[in-house]
Amino acid sequence: MLKVEKLSGGYDRQLIVKNVTFQVEKGEMLGILGPNGSGKSTLLKVISGILHKESGDVLIDGKLLTTYSSKELAKKMAVLPQLHSHAFSHTVRDTIALGRYPHQSGLFSSWSDEDEAAVVGAMKQMGIEKYEHHMLDLLSGGEQQRVFVAQALAQQAPILLLDEPTNHLDIAHQKQLLDTIKTQANENAMTIISIFHDINLASLYCDRLLLMDQGEVKVIGEPHEVVMKEKIETVYKARISTNPHPERPKPQITILPDIKERCEEKLITIENFQVTDELVVFQAEHQLKTWSSAVINAGTGWYRTFVNRRVDAFYNIDNAQTEMQQFLTNRGYSETETVGMMTAVYTKDAVIKQYDGDFGSVIIMVTAGVGNAVDVAKAYEVEALPAIGTINTWIIINGELAEEAFIQAVITATEAKTKALAYEQVKDPRTGTIATGTSTDSVLVAATQQGAYIPYAGPITEVGKKIGLGVYECTVEAIQTYKKAKGWE
């Protein structure tokens, strides 16, 4: 356990670390964050006793740091500094073996089995056994870094101070190293303090984070309390946005660049559509921010081609994703830039309309097959039967949509679609009630993210009104066309 109380210190004339207080428990990993020159490394040096402290205390297991002898301290605390220099060539093994220095005593200080086990174990943990007899200076920067981490691990101290341990490492080795260290913290109840440059790595691996600003603690707490847009932006003076990690409940950040892009107008119109017997294709010059429930590239992303493909009634749905991907690739549509949907209706029957407003414009595309219409409120009453019929709705907007506007656009569009079905008296054949949609409807909302900023897209906003009107009109028209084609009317 390590306790730092009102610690101030730095170089001879300059106080760099000011009044820092925190505590790290056994088995805990604390990450230290802060911009360049915020005093992270200096703090580590003052804690490890390399630089003198002006005031305050460092306590290890309740005892003052200064009461430990050099060797005792090294048994308690291992340090991995940021820069390494070495004048003469050592082998990897000799370098790691130096980590055993504090455990050896006596004039001849023999090498014990315990020493050997610690060195071999550390090499294994860092995956550098194969370099055992290599010369250190012939290894790459990343390999050397792993050797020095192994040296610190061989020290077998319960407290580990690390200054940017992932320096020089590729992502596989960053992950391996941090996994190893985190496992050490968990399994051997080690106390770990590590400086990070990479806010995302720190957030992902640390239990708590300490954000430093100009030598002082700006904030300390769990990652979600520290990695916040305003705090990070104020301290680092860089624009960022935060988003959740896909697997762990930890916040991640994304840098928002301030590059002046050539101010090209990315306006899209109805001219961007092309309809063939088989496909409805929308193609834009630039990528649009897209949110969809398509077959290919669903979710959020930046895409510039949207494809709505007609398949016949005998299409084998089991392998749809792979087949569709293959189909798109064969047609020359880029795998990473295309959103793909499927429909059973004739693509020639697609309804595509443009609605202009003060904010910009909305283009709606609807293909509707209602042979599979479902009343969602009664759906629990009946066994779902696989049937053909889908309503695909695209809403493409000239404007800059906020996250919530994307969601509201989907709500608005869905409500308008349901209203259209009601107007057309489309019924769920199983329950005989008015249908709300089909069982396989898809929706796509895309925006150029240029032009007017659109924070909301509910029916109270202008863009919401256009979406509501557009989707309603287009869906009604598409259903009527469908009915005609089926000979229902």
CB of residue 334 to other proteins, shortest distance in Å: 44
Residue 59 pairs in a beta bridge with 3, 64
Output 48 or 448, the one with its CB closest to other proteins: 48
CB of residue 220 to other proteins, shortest distance in Å: 25
**Residue 334 is encoded by which pair of tokens?**
């880029």
CB of residue 114 to other proteins, shortest distance in Å: 16
CB of residue 272 to other proteins, shortest distance in Å: 56
CA pair distance 51, 26, nearest whole angstrom: 25
Task: Find the helix or strand (DSSP H, E) in which 446 lies.
Answer: strand 442-447
CB of residue 134 to other proteins, shortest distance in Å: 13
Output 50 or 376, the one with its CB closest to other proteins: 50
Output 143 or 441, the one with its CB closest to other proteins: 143
Output 98 or 189, the one with its CB closest to other proteins: 98
Helix %, strand %, coil % of the chain (to 5): 35, 30, 35
Which letter does DSSP use for residue 434 in this model?
B
Output 89 or 274, the one with its CB closest to other proteins: 89
Q: Is 222 left (phi over 0), alpha (psi -120 to 50) or beta?
A: beta
CB of residue 136 to other proteins, shortest distance in Å: 10
Output 104 or 347, the one with its CB closest to other proteins: 104
CB of residue 226 to other proteins, shortest distance in Å: 28
Within 10 angstroms of residue 242's Cβ, the number of other Cβ atoms is 16
CB of residue 112 to other proteins, shortest distance in Å: 15
Which of 173, 188, 121 has the alpha carbon at shortest distance from 152? 121
**C-alpha dihedral sign at 92, 97, 101, 102:** positive
CB of residue 164 to other proteins, shortest distance in Å: 15
CA pair distance 456, 94, nearest whole angstrom: 64
Output 18 or 45, the one with its CB closest to other proteins: 45
CB of residue 85 to other proteins, shortest distance in Å: 6
Output 73 or 118, the one with its CB closest to other proteins: 73
CB of residue 174 to other proteins, shortest distance in Å: 22
Judged by the rule CB under 8 A, the positions of this chain that interact with other proteins are: 45, 48-50, 69-75, 78-79, 81, 84-91, 94-95, 98-99, 101-102, 104, 107, 109, 137, 151, 155
Whole-angstrom Cα Rg for the chain: 31
DSSP string, 332-373: T--TTTEEEEEESS-GGG-EEEEEE-SS-EEEEEEEE--TTE
Output 160 or 401, the one with its CB closest to other proteins: 160
DSSP string, 21-68: EEEE-TT-EEEEE--TTSSHHHHHHHHTTSS-EEEEEEEETTEEGGGS
Q: Burial code of 5-32, b = ≥16 C-beta within 10 A, e = fewer? A: eebbbbeeeeebbbebebebeebbbbbb
CB of residue 8 to other proteins, shortest distance in Å: 20
Output 87 or 460, the one with its CB closest to other proteins: 87
**Residue 156 is encoded by which pair of tokens?**
């077998």
Output 48 or 461, the one with its CB closest to other proteins: 48
CA pair distance 482, 489, nearest whole angstrom: 10
Contact 486, 313 (CB under 8 A): no
Q: Is 312 left (phi over 0), alpha (psi -120 to 50) or beta?
A: beta
Contact 115, 104 (CB under 8 A): yes
DSSP string, 138-169: GS-HHHHHHHHHHHHHHTT-SEEEEESTTTT-
Give me the torsion for CA of 163, 166, 168, 173, rounded to 10°: 150
Output 49 or 371, the one with its CB closest to other proteins: 49
CA pair distance 42, 288, nearest whole angstrom: 46
Output 98 or 317, the one with its CB closest to other proteins: 98
CB of residue 98 to other proteins, shortest distance in Å: 5
Q: Burial code of 201-218, b = ≥16 C-beta within 10 A, e = fewer? A: bbbbbbbbbbbbbebebb
